[in-house]
Amino acid sequence: MATSQVETVSTGADKAKLAIAAALVVVALAAYYLLGKQGGVAQWAGLLVGLGAAVVMFLVSEAGRRFMAFGRDSWREVKKVVWPTRKEAMQMTMYVFAFVVIMALFLWLSDKTLEWVFYDLILGWKK
């Protein structure tokens, strides 16, 4: 059964919500710098309140609702993952390390063999 997903068109209200969210981010940053003489607590409070308001405004827009739905779906998929046990993770890590060591030895031997063939046998450059 094929499912088709319908893309919704952003309405003027959604565009306005996103514009307000962006403006709130700018206001929050401005508040942080303008409240510098009031102390660190006032600075951070202005920044966090402004950013919080921007996040809320974003989440009530269509894009925010889609983002939240994506997050819920992603979390649902993560819960389906069968994670390896500690023993399995350690075994796989050791396999990777062993492969890296074997590959390093192979590449070193290949390099030294080619060096011997080219420099000693073909070109006659003895070290």
Q: So where are the chain's domains?
A: 13-81, 83-127
Confidence class for position 125, pLDDT limits 50, 70, 90: confident
The CA distance from 67 to 23, in Å, is: 20
Over the stretch 33-83, which tens digit does the pLDDT of each residue have? 998 888 889 999 999 999 999 999 999 999 999 999 999 999 999 999 999
| Number of alpha carbons in the 13 Å side-chain half-sphere of residue 90 | 3
**pLDDT for residue 84:** 93
Total-model pTM: 0.56
